[in-house]
């Protein structure tokens, strides 16, 4: 057997030490990946638990109210038109909120599965916003809140091309939040700018405001500023999370700005200015929202 030189022995030791270091680094990397995966699984279970709790509070209770109201109307011969109108308004309000919350749930589920498409349609963004204000009229009336729309555009019309269905969900979530967190007799200001290939929106309320350290946290799924069961402000904690996902899919971004009174939500999306080759046209996007048997996807 030939004697191994000191140099060759040193080289072999170096090779083995390097191999040992590589294995240690690989093990460390795998350990971190497992820890990260375990954390995500724990968070997933926590989110599921939180979501079930929210759904119980936000959907089961309104359904119980609907059943009670409809049963009362069914079992009583009411001839007072004003009373019938009052009960009808209560039923509509509860049903509307359930429908609204479920649509956010459906969007969240679709994004989670990765099965979504961007369906381009040409429509008037101002008419779309007006239709949302009409949809949420019962919320505005409840607090006597008004809305002003300010439009700035670099074209003679406000027609844009993007996914009207998804954009309407964004506007609906932000506007409903602005109204819910406004004070009685307040107003919200909606500013819309159409500049080249970008739609820029500002929605400003003058309500209770939000702590600056929460302006990013509110976009987390299931997060609610007031998470108490008896909170007057309903919601599953999905609205802003869904809105942020939609905006990013549409090539934009969203952020909060805190003010001395109230908050301002600013977002932008990319819009298609070449509308000649797009076949579908909607006057206000209303064909896509709160329409009977319409499918969200």
Long-range contacts of 129-133 (CB under 8 A, 24+ apart): 129/171, 129/175, 129/190, 129/192, 130/284, 131/168, 131/284, 131/285, 131/286, 131/289, 132/168, 132/171, 132/172, 132/175, 132/289, 133/175
**Half-sphere exposure (CA, 13 Å, Cβ side) for 74?**
6
Look at residue 292 in the predicted model and tell me its pLDDT: 43
Look at residue 62 in the predicted model and tell me its pLDDT: 75
161 SS3 class: strand
Low-confidence ranges of the chain (pLDDT < 50): 1, 227-233, 274-278, 287-297
The pTM score is 0.69
Contact 255, 194 (CB under 8 A): no
Look at residue 191 in the predicted model and tell me its pLDDT: 95
Look at residue 69 in the predicted model and tell me its pLDDT: 82
CA 287 from chain centre, in angstroms, equals 20
- Give the number of residues written for the chain: 297
Nearest-5° Cα angle at 131, 128 to 134 = 155
Look at residue 283 in the predicted model and tell me its pLDDT: 55
Residue with tokens 């406000």: 158
Look at residue 258 in the predicted model and tell me its pLDDT: 79
Cα–Cα distance, 218 to 235 (Å, whole number): 12
Residue among 230, 223, 134 at smallest CA distance from 176: 134
Beta strands in 142-271 (DSSP E): 146-153, 159-162, 187-195, 198-204, 253-258, 263-270
Look at residue 22 in the predicted model and tell me its pLDDT: 79
Contact 285, 164 (CB under 8 A): yes
Backbone angles phi, psi at 193, to 5 degrees: -120, 130
Ordered structural domains, the chain, with CATH: 121-288 (3.30.565.10)
Tokens of 272: 């298609």
Look at residue 296 in the predicted model and tell me its pLDDT: 36
Backbone angles phi, psi at 159, to 5 degrees: -75, 135
Nearest-5° Cα angle at 238, 236 to 242 = 160
């Amino acid at each position: 057997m030939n004697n191994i030189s000191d140099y060759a022995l040193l080289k072999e030791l170096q090779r083995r030490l390097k191999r040992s270091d590589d294995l240690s680094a690989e093990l460390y990397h795998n350990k971190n990946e497992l820890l990260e995966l375990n954390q995500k699984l724990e968070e997933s279970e926590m989110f599921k638990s939180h979501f079930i709790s929210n759904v119980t509070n936000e959907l089961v209770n309104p359904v119980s109210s609907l059943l009670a109201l409809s049963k009362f109307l069914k079992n009583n011969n009411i001839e007072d038109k004003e009373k019938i109108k009052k009960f009808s308004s209560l039923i509509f309000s509860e049903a509307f909120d359930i429908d609204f919350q479920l649509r956010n749930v459906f969007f969240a589920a679709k994004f989670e599965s990765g099965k979504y498409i961007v369906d381009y349609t040409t429509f008037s963004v101002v008419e779309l916003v007006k239709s949302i204000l009409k949809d949420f009229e019962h919320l505005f009336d409840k607090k006597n809140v008004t809305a002003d729309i300010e439009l700035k555009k670099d074209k003679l019309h406000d027609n844009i091309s993007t996914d009207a269905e998804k954009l309407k969900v964004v506007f609906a979530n932000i506007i409903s939040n602005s109204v819910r967190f406004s004070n009685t007799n307040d107003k919200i200001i909606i500013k819309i700018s159409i500049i080249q290939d970008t739609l820029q929106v500002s929605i400003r309320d003058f309500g209770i405001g939000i702590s600056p350290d929460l302006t990013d946290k509110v976009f987390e799924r299931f997060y609610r500023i007031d998470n108490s069961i008896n909170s007057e402000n309903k919601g599953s904690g999905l609205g802003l999370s869904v809105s942020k996902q939609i905006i990013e899919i549409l090539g934009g971004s969203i952020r909060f700005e805190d003010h001395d009174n109230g908050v301002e939500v600013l977002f932008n999306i990319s819009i298609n200015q070449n509308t000649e080759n797009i076949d579908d046209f909607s006057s206000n996007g209303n064909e896509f929202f709160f329409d009977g048997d319409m499918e969200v996807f």
